[in-house]
């Protein structure tokens, strides 16, 4: 069976579960009275993000989301696969929020989501690969390559499209984009320092805590920043001034 979770590991997973649940409930409560269809769109997307993560954290906290992977030369690694199931759905939703804010066209959205899904799936393959450390690191490199292109796209094409929006909206976009740039860049770092790479510079407990902090900031933190600017979220650039709530 899998090795029993350490204190920090268990704590982090339960804090993740509770934090994501509270975030979900908070966004639902906030969005309850929203009648504007365009604003509702952001609420719907942003509520599902911590809701999916809460389910994933609950599965990890109760042991379902964990498997043992025997890796050549590294022994048996404990891998929380449920993270990737969560990220596969939540990261495209986060990008969708950003893309809507930027007024992005369909091709831009498709490119972003495509790169993102590619990044998460190749990361998952790297986490599950049994063929030894070199193969796992190669997958990490492929996934990180996709992240770099994705962030480059956020800074380039998407930011360009956002600059056509009103000042307030463009400023909100820039704030959230910067949050994504910083937080998302840390995921491959935690992965490579943690158990997945086999380096185990960070023990599983510390790695789990680090991912919990990143996940809470990237989902609940992101959602709070986005939704507290509700007045910016509806109408065209010019209408935004009149729809203050
Ligand atoms: C709410 C969850 C978020 C924002 C998760 C983001 C995850 C990433 C940006 C993960 C990236 C990875 C790599 C770039 C390489 C190694 C494997 C991953 C999946 C950790």
Closest CA to 209 of 5, 16, 3, 17: 16
Q: What mean pLDDT value characterizes the chain?
A: 92
Q: Give pLDDT, residue 54.
A: 98
Asked if pLDDT for residue 132 goes beyond 60, the answer is: yes
Residue with tokens 């509702």: 40
- Around ligand 1, the residues with Cβ closer than 6 Å are 87, 90-91, 94, 119-120, 123, 140, 143-144, 147, 184, 187-188, 191, 215, 218-219
Per the CB < 8 A criterion, the answer to whether 166 and 234 are in contact is no
Architecture of domain 8-236: Up-down Bundle (1.20)
Residue 67 pairs in a beta bridge with 79
Enter the pTM of the model. Answer: 0.93
* Cα 102 to ligand 1 centre (Å): 22
Paired tokens of 118: 């590619």
Binning pLDDT at 50, 70 and 90, where does residue 82 land? very high
Kindly provide the residue ranges of all beta strands, DSSP E only, lying in the chain, ordered along the sequence: 66-71, 75-80
Q: What is the pLDDT of residues 139-185, one digit of tens each?
A: 999 999 999 999 999 999 999 999 999 899 999 999 999 999 999 99
Q: Hey, where are the domains in the chain?
A: 8-236
Q: What angle do CA 1, 89, 127 make, to 5 degrees?
A: 40
Ligand 1 atom having least distance to the Cα of 123: 17
Binning pLDDT at 50, 70 and 90, where does residue 243 land? very low
d(CA 103, CA 238): 13
Ligand 1 atom having least distance to the Cα of 215: 1
Asked if pLDDT for residue 111 goes beyond 60, the answer is: yes
């Amino acid at each position: 069976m899998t090795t029993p979770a350490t204190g920090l590991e268990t704590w982090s997973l339960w804090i993740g579960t509770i934090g994501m649940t509270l975030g979900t409930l908070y966004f639902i409560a906030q969005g309850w009275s929203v009648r504007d269809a365009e604003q509702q769109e952001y609420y719907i997307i942003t509520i599902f993000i911590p809701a999916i993560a809460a389910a994933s954290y609950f599965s990890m906290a109760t042991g379902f989301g964990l498997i043992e992977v025997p890796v050549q030369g590294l022994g048996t690694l404990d891998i929380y696969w449920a993270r990737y199931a969560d990220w596969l759905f939540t990261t495209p939703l986060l990008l969708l929020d950003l893309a809507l804010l930027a007024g992005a066209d369909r091709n831009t959205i498709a490119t972003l989501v495509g790169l993102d899904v590619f990044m998460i799936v190749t990361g998952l393959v790297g986490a599950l690969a049994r063929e030894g450390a070199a193969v796992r690191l190669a997958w990490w490199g492929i996934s990180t390559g996709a992240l770099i292109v994705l962030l480059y796209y956020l800074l380039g094409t998407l930011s360009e499209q956002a600059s056509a929006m009103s000042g307030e909206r463009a400023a909100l976009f820039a704030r959230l984009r910067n949050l994504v740039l910083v937080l998302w860049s840390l995921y491959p770092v935690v992965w490579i320092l943690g158990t997945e790479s086999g380096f185990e510079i960070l023990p599983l407990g510390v790695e789990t805590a680090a991912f919990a902090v990143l996940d809470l900031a990237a989902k609940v933190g992101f959602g709070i920043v986005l939704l507290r600017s509700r007045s910016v979220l509806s109408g065209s650039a010019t209408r935004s001034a009149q729809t203050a709530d």
